[in-house]
Structure 1
Amino acid sequence: MTGPTLADALRARPNEHRPITDAFTAHTTLAWHQPTPAHLAAGTALSVVVPARNTAYALPHVLDALAAQQTDGQVEVIVVDDASTDTTFTVARMHLAVRTLVRLARPSGAAVARNVGTRLASAPTVLYLDADMVLPNHVLADVAARVRDDTVLTGFRHNVPHPAGPCAAPVLPDGPPQLAADHRVTWTPPINTLLPYSGITLTEPLDGRPLDATGDFQALGHGRSYYDWDLPRMAVTALLAAPRAAVVDIGGLDETFGRIGWGMEDTHLGAALIASGCLVIPLRQAVGFHLDPPDAAAQWQTKLAAWPGTLDRYRTLLTRPAPTGRTDDFTTATDQHLSDAEVITR
């Protein structure tokens, strides 16, 4: 395949989404970042794809929150169990919110799980949701009322530490999730320390505000950055809506990342979608509680140890042509994963 590199394509793309957000407000009289009444989602279908591996501690809360969504739009929930060794599969099988449940035959990584869910999705828009993200009841309406075939809508997360004790269950805080809890909103980087993503070192303390300082990510178009942040990094699949056709055309998420370790597959997904012509627009009202696992500290160390490898993979992909026209490859790969998976559809 020939053509401009992915990095070149990113430098060619703006992210000036104000005409879209202003037009939405003019048409609905609702502010872009305002929680959305259920009726504004009528006539719009969403496929919610939830990749899950050993998340039985959180998944009941996540599915309960999906069942409680106040939306007049059509919703299908697809849970893809990445060969969990706990009761994740049983939790999903018993919950009435789940329309389709897949159990992969072997651990394959979150990119594979999301791709399989995307393959089975019937709606034009796929909402990727982590299996530990608990949403307020307006979020699906927020997304459905604003979807377009050329936008990526990104929400935010408020981390909730797991209570102490081997048998403790997650406890949701009182009140709504807080936008400022997300690192893309409030960011205090270390000083005199190499930031591996950008390769810069800050010598003075910084009270970082990426979301505000970039005009809701608009200033990150044309490959620009805000210190260690750029536009692809803002596309976090913990809570992210994208046009299914665009995801399939770029070949879905790059599954190599999952074989290397943690991280960067959503950054690459964002980069590929931006290169294909999509704008990245935040939804400030779409903030979920992210429930940390009981062994959060140990998991984090394992993830960080693998990050250099996945970051190197991402940098390599930036030097290659921007992915496009890969629908057949996507279909072949996902059908292979499904060939020996268990699939339950209600």
Structure 2
Amino acid sequence: MTPRVPLPSPLPLREELLRHGNNHGSSTHAWEALADGIGWHQPTPSDCWLASSRDVSVVIPAHQVGYCLPTVLNALDAQHHQYVFEVIVVDDASTDDTARVAAGHRVVDRLVRLPQRMGAATARNVGTALAQGQTVLYLDGDMVIPPHVITDVAARATDTSVLVGFRHNLRYEVHAQEPAILGRIPNLAADHRVVWRPPPNTTLPYSGITLPEPLDGRPLDDTRDFIDLGYGQSYYDWDLPRMVVTALVAVPRAAVLDVGGFDADFGRLGWGMEDTYLGACLIAAGLLVIPLRQAVGFHLDPSDAAEQAQHKLAGWPRTLTRYRDLLELPAPRGRAHAFIASMSELLTNCEGRP
């Protein structure tokens, strides 16, 4: 009898990332060749025939965003997209009027309220399980997007691409006039992935490096729209998974299901890194991370934004440690069935409006 040769063990996720490039140039150029003169980074006209290419589900995790959620939802209602798109709000056990606002807004197709605070990772997982679209656009509950963004995503999304948008932080005042926000043009350069000026002589927490001199960094430009971050390369403190920020990012739903969605432990440990880990899993699965420079939204900061930022950063070491540990495990695959089963069980304990 011929002895059975054991199959090689799956590579750790960290090593798997070294095997995948991010040269999306052929994809973006091919799209432009079909797009009747529209550039990849240009806002997409509402009558672009490519806008019917994909069904889009917008998934919004929402916690204590009653102060700005009406503006966020009104911006979705003002999208010039000519095709139906779905909006799902998952309220992470808010104690303000977040659920009431979502329940009363005509653009919201489905509202689910989690039984207790479970974190944005779980909220996004629930929304992903419920989504009907081929593409899921994750949008934070405090992100206001321009009217062309849904069409930009629908026209460009594929089964093998992660489309990354950007954010411009803007202080939200209780008495601000909504038209003043919806009428403003967000600035791409306001995102740290575009213009980045780290403090010198300070250990950067993600990479652990220290820069001896001030740096006027340009991560997006200097990496050629993230192409040069393939094969595990980095730009100082930035790598490709870190560019996947779920404040505004579009992903193929099937790919998210296959890798098992977001790791819910991040939400229990603190703030951040769940989107970085999802990005790493999708990159290891062969997806390309492609920026949309025209997809820039206003991130509406609450009045206590500085205090909230300090609280979040205090918990970052715990979530970063969790991320490092997961990088040493095999890249997840084939988890769609278990993911749907888990979310279906959770949904039996949730409140919601179908």
For Structure 1 versus Structure 2, the TM-score category normalised by the shorter chain is over 0.9
Query: 1 CA distance for matches of 2:206 and 2:325?
Result: 13
Deviations 1:82-117 (Å, cap 9, x if unpaired)?
010000000000000000110111110000000000
* Contact 1:56–1:91 under 8 Å retained in 2: yes
Query: 2 CA distance for matches of 1:187 and 1:237?
Result: 19
* 2:203 paired with 1:194: yes
User: Which of 263, 274, 282 does residue 283 from structure 2 map onto?
Assistant: 274
Query: 1 CA distance for matches of 2:195 and 2:177?
Result: 24
Residue of structure 2 in register with 1:111 after alignment: 121
Residue of structure 2 in register with 1:98 after alignment: 108
Query: 1 CA distance for matches of 2:234 and 2:344?
Result: 38
* 2:160 paired with 1:150: yes
Residue of structure 1 in register with 2:169 after alignment: 159
* Contact 1:78–1:99 under 8 Å retained in 2: yes
Residues 215-224 or 33-42, more deviating: 33-42
* Contact 1:57–1:169 under 8 Å retained in 2: no
Q: Per the alignment, in what secondary structure is the counterpart of residue 96 of structure 2? A: coil
Change (3 A) 1:2 1:74: farther
Q: How does 1:241-256 map to 2 (within 5 A)?
A: 241-256=250-265
Residues 323-332 or 105-114, more deviating: 323-332
Query: 1 CA distance for matches of 2:59 and 2:9?
Result: 32
User: Which of 336, 339, 342 does residue 348 from structure 2 map onto?
Assistant: 339
Query: 2 CA distance for matches of 1:119 and 1:223?
Result: 30
Change (3 A) 1:260 1:70: same
TM-score normalised by L of structure 1: 0.97
Paired residue type of 2:57:
S
* Contact 2:68–2:172 under 8 Å retained in 1: no
The alpha carbon displacement at 1:343 in A equals 2.2
* 2:161 paired with 1:178: no
Aligned Cα RMSD in Å?
Answer: 1.3
Residue of structure 2 in register with 1:35 after alignment: 43
TM-score normalised by L of structure 2: 0.94
* 2:5 paired with 1:22: no
The alpha carbon displacement at 1:196 in A equals 1.0
Deviations 1:240-277 (Å, cap 9, x if unpaired)?
00000000000000000000000000000100000001
Paired residue type of 1:19:
S
Paired residue type of 1:108:
M
Q: How many residues align?
A: 342
* Contact 1:250–1:273 under 8 Å retained in 2: yes
Q: Structure 1: state its 5+ residue gaps.
A: none
Change (3 A) 1:8 1:139: same
Residue of structure 1 in register with 2:19 after alignment: 12
Residue of structure 2 in register with 1:284 after alignment: 293
Over the matched positions of the two proteins, sequence identity in percent amounts to 59
The alpha carbon displacement at 1:170 in A equals 7.2
Q: Per the alignment, in what secondary structure is the counterpart of residue 102 of structure 1? A: strand
User: Which of 77, 82, 88 does residue 87 from structure 2 map onto?
Assistant: 77
The alpha carbon displacement at 1:168 in A equals 4.0
Q: Per the alignment, in what secondary structure is the counterpart of residue 145 of structure 1? A: helix
Query: 2 CA distance for matches of 1:288 and 1:118?
Result: 21
Q: How does 1:228-267 map to 2 (within 5 A)?
A: 228-267=237-276
* Contact 2:53–2:155 under 8 Å retained in 1: no
Query: 1 CA distance for matches of 2:287 and 2:339?
Result: 19
Residue of structure 2 in register with 1:68 after alignment: 78
Paired residue type of 1:36:
T
* Contact 1:46–1:73 under 8 Å retained in 2: no
The alpha carbon displacement at 1:332 in A equals 2.3
Residue of structure 2 in register with 1:58 after alignment: 68
Query: 2 CA distance for matches of 1:245 and 1:43?
Result: 16
User: Which of 307, 323, 326 does residue 314 from structure 1 map onto?
Assistant: 323
* Contact 2:242–2:276 under 8 Å retained in 1: yes
The alpha carbon displacement at 1:11 in A equals 0.5
The alpha carbon displacement at 1:43 in A equals 4.6
* 2:314 paired with 1:305: yes
Query: 2 CA distance for matches of 1:334 and 1:78?
Result: 15
Query: 2 CA distance for matches of 1:142 and 1:238?
Result: 16
The alpha carbon displacement at 1:44 in A equals 2.5
